[in-house]
């Protein structure tokens, strides 16, 4: 029905938008018709931005972060400590860790977490690159900054098993109460972890 | 079909969890009353979510759901057993995921199977309590029965003749063990030793604690694993992906001494770094 009444380029654009995450058929239609109304310059700007992302952005050969220049800014920054690696599930997580301002080491992006049921095993993560970095002996500590869920925990444990024989220290982010939380509303699992990870007042 | 109630409560085992949209998650739940079904929890990936702590794959919870159009929506959760031990140990977790994946594929949508629920709970509880990995074989043997697959263990599945002590094989398409004479007549088959046959019969006839107490050497364990993998494959009609991960874990070598240091490491690191300001 729509295919007949709507010109072909528009249906193609709608289909393309529809494939984006979080965009349903209605939103896709709205976006496509919006693109008709905007100026050519703006539309071309969007198109070039997308093309540039695909052409110029690649994975850093050291840490697999997304970057324009290889190696990426973190890996080539000599002020950052190469002996401490923070291992994250996705490149976006680097931004989150960076925002804390509390980490001055380097990163490693696995691009996923172990999820055997979904068919994501160790081979699908960039662990070989991580092993190679640790094998050089330059790394003293590997911090597993994976999500505190089943997949993230399994990944942390797996990496620990993988790297421990190389004599590197593997740590993971502490889990517990978020700042400003109310003890009364905390779930048992989190509170139990918080108790385990309690710290002495100094 | 009678109209489903707008709000209902049930016990459920969380089989899988996946992301949905910006901050939601979709869960595959397995409930004794409802069977296997998908439900969504809104905003559960955000830190503020009150449901978050209890909703994790491989835990058993009591949930309240509101009937929705595509997915029912989880509105309240109370933990029954979070099976924490399954999360703290890589091997146990991988075995439990294997069990969960088999349940996902062996069940039909919204078809109550209380016995299979009980079996899955029994298996996960045993794993969490530190049972040896062959409790999964017990799970598989009984899963076959509950899925309506009558695993022929006492006579040849094809000629109903007596099974000789040696030379038997297992042929999933024919329904179980076949004698030497029938070998090859009932689809692909693999040889099976007499002690493996005994172990299979034992698993079917005895309660779990008896089977767990069975001493099993590495050869027998891997033979049983291979035989039952074939049988399960026949019933669920697909490869169980988590099985591959179990293989990979085996190649990884034994667990290093000590667990990942958490608090201690943090304290040490802060000491070493002279506790920089801004880090709490």
Secondary structure of B72-136 in HEC code, one letter for each residue: EEEEEEEEEECCHHHHHCHHHHHHHHHHHHHHHHHCCECCCCHHHHHHHHHHHHHHHCCCCCCHH
Rounded Cα–Cα distance for residues A135 and A123 (Å):
18
Contact criterion met (CB below 8 Å) for A36 and A29: no
**The domain spanning residue B66 has which CATH number?**
2.40.50.140
Q: Which long-range contacts (CB under 8 A, 24 or more apart) does B45-51 make?
A: B45/B19, B47/A178, B50/A185, B50/A187, B51/B76, B51/B77
Instruction: Let me know how long chain B is.
Output: 280
Chain A residues with CB under 8 Å of B89 CB are 157
Q: What is the pLDDT along chain A (202 residues), one digit of tens a residue?
A: 544 678 899 999 999 999 998 888 999 999 999 999 999 999 999 999 999 988 988 889 888 998 888 888 888 888 999 899 999 999 999 999 999 988 999 999 999 999 988 888 888 898 888 998 898 888 899 999 998 888 898 999 999 989 888 888 999 888 888 777 788 877 777 888 888 888 888 7
- Chain position carrying tokens 């190389």: A166
For chain B positions 233-252, those within 8 Å of chain A (CB to CB) are 241-242, 244-246, 248-249, 252
Chain B residues with CB under 8 Å of A168 CB are none
Closest CB to B265 among A22, A171, A187 = A171
Record: contact A157-B90, CB cut-off 8 A: yes
pLDDT of residue B276: 42
A97 lies in the same domain as A167: yes
B19 Cβ under 8 Å from any chain A Cβ: no
A86 lies in the same domain as A157: yes
Residue A194 lies in a domain: no
**The domain spanning residue B147 has which CATH number?**
1.20.1440.120
B108 Cβ under 8 Å from any chain A Cβ: no
pLDDT of residue B263: 44
B100 Cβ under 8 Å from any chain A Cβ: yes
Chain B residues with CB under 8 Å of A199 CB are 263, 266-267
Residue A74 lies in a domain: no
**Of A105, A103, A109, the residue nearest A63 (C-alpha):** A109
Q: From residue B260, how far is each of A135, A163, B32, B97 by CA, in Å?
A: 19, 11, 36, 21
**A70–chain B nearest CA distance, Å:** 30
Domain count for chain B = 2
Q: From residue A89, how far is each of A115, B25, B33, B98 by CA, in Å?
A: 12, 18, 37, 23
B171 lies in the same domain as B235: yes
What is the DSSP track for A26-76? HHHHHHHHHHHHS-HHHHHHHHHHHHHHHHH-EE-TTT--EESSSS-HHHH
Beta-carbon pairs below 8 A across chains A and B: 114
CB atoms near residue A131 (< 10 Å): 13
pLDDT of residue B257: 55
Q: From residue B29, how far is each of A20, B103, B251 by CA, in Å?
A: 28, 10, 32
Residue A70 lies in a domain: no
Residue B100 lies in a domain: yes
A91 lies in the same domain as A155: yes
- Domain range for residue B95? 86-251
Domain count for chain A = 2
Pick among A114, A166, A180, A187 to test the B interface (most B CBs inside 10 A): A187
Q: From residue B113, how far is each of A127, A135, B143 by CA, in Å?
A: 40, 50, 11
pLDDT of residue B272: 52
For chain B, residues with pLDDT lower than 50 are 259, 263-264, 266-267, 269-270, 274-280
pLDDT of residue B74: 92
CB atoms near residue A111 (< 10 Å): 16
> How would you write A110-160 as a 3-class SS string?
CCCCCEHHHCECHHHCCHHHHHHHHHCCCCCEEEEECCCCHHHHHHHHHHH
B160 lies in the same domain as B203: yes
Record: contact A118-B101, CB cut-off 8 A: no
B18 lies in the same domain as B144: no
Q: From residue B100, how far is each of B139, B190, B215, B223, B244 by CA, in Å?
A: 11, 26, 25, 22, 14
* Structure tokens given for A193: 């972890």
- Domain range for residue A27? 2-56
Pick among A148, A150, A177 to test the B interface (most B CBs inside 10 A): A150
Instruction: Let me know how long chain A is.
Output: 202
Contact criterion met (CB below 8 Å) for A118 and A155: no
pLDDT of residue A40: 92
A98 lies in the same domain as A49: no
B113 lies in the same domain as B39: no
**A163–chain B nearest CA distance, Å:** 10
Residue A71 lies in a domain: no
pLDDT of residue B211: 87
Strand partners, A202: none
| Torsion angles phi and psi, residue B266, rounded to 5 | -60, -45
Residue A180 lies in a domain: no
Supply the pTM of this predicted model: 0.81
Residue B267 lies in a domain: no
B72 Cβ under 8 Å from any chain A Cβ: no
ipTM, two decimals, is 0.76
Indicate the pairing of strand B35-41 with strand B72-81: parallel
A8 lies in the same domain as A92: no
B101 lies in the same domain as B30: no
């Amino acid at each position: 029905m729509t295919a007949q009444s709507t010109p072909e380029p528009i249906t193609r654009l709608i289909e393309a938008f529809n494939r984006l995450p979080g965009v349903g058929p209605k939103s896709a239609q709205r976006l496509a018709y919006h693109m008709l109304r905007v100026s050519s310059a703006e539309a071309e700007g969007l198109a070039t931005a997308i093309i540039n992302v695909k052409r110029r952005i690649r994975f850093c050969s050291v840490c697999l972060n997304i970057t324009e220049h290889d190696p990426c800014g973190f890996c080539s920054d000599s002020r950052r400590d190469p002996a401490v690696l923070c291992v994250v599930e996705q490149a976006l997580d680097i931004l989150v860790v960076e925002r804390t301002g509390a980490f001055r080491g380097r990163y490693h992006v696995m691009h996923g977490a172990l999820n055997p049921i979904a068919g994501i095993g160790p081979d699908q993560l960039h662990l070989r690159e991580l092993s190679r970095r640790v094998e050089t002996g330059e790394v003293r500590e590997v911090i597993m900054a994976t999500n505190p869920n089943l997949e993230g925990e399994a990944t942390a444990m797996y990496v620990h098993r993988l790297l421990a024989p190389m004599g590197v220290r593997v740590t993971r982010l502490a889990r517990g109460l978020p700042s400003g939380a109310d003890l009364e509303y905390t779930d048992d699992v989190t509170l139990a972890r918080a108790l385990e990870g309690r710290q002495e007042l100094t | 079909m009678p109209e489903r109630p707008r709000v209902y409560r049930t016990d459920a085992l969380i089989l899988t969890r996946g992301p949905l949209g910006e901050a939601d998650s979709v869960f595959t739940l397995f409930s004794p009353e409802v069977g296997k079904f998908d439900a969504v929890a809104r905003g559960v990936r955000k830190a503020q979510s009150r449901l978050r702590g209890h909703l994790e794959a491989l835990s058993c919870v009591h949930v309240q759901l509101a009937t929705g159009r595509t997915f029912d929506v989880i509105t309240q959760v109370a933990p029954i057993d979070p099976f924490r031990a399954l999360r703290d140990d890589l091997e146990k977790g991988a075995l439990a995921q294997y069990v969960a994946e088999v349940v996902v594929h062996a069940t039909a949508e919204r078809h109550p199977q209380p016995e299979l629920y009980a079996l899955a709970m029994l298996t996960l509880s045993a794993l969490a309590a530190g049972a040896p990995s062959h409790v999964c074989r017990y799970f598989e043997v009984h899963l076959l029965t509950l899925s309506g697959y009558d695993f022929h263990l006492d006579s040849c599945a094809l000629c109903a003749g007596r099974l000789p002590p040696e030379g038997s094989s297992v042929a999933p398409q024919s329904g179980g063990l076949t004698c030497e004479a029938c070998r090859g007549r009932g689809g692909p088959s693999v040889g099976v030793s007499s002690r493996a046959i005994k172990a299979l019969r034992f698993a079917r006839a005895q309660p779990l604690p008896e089977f767990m107490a069975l001493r099993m050497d590495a050869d027998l364990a891997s033979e049983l694993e291979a035989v039952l993998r074939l049988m399960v494959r026949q019933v669920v009609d697909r490869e169980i992906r988590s099985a591959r991960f179990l293989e990979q874990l085996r190649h990884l070598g034994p667990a290093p001494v000590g667990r990942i240091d958490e608090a201690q490491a943090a304290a040490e690191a802060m000491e070493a770094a002279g506790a920089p300001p801004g880090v709490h």
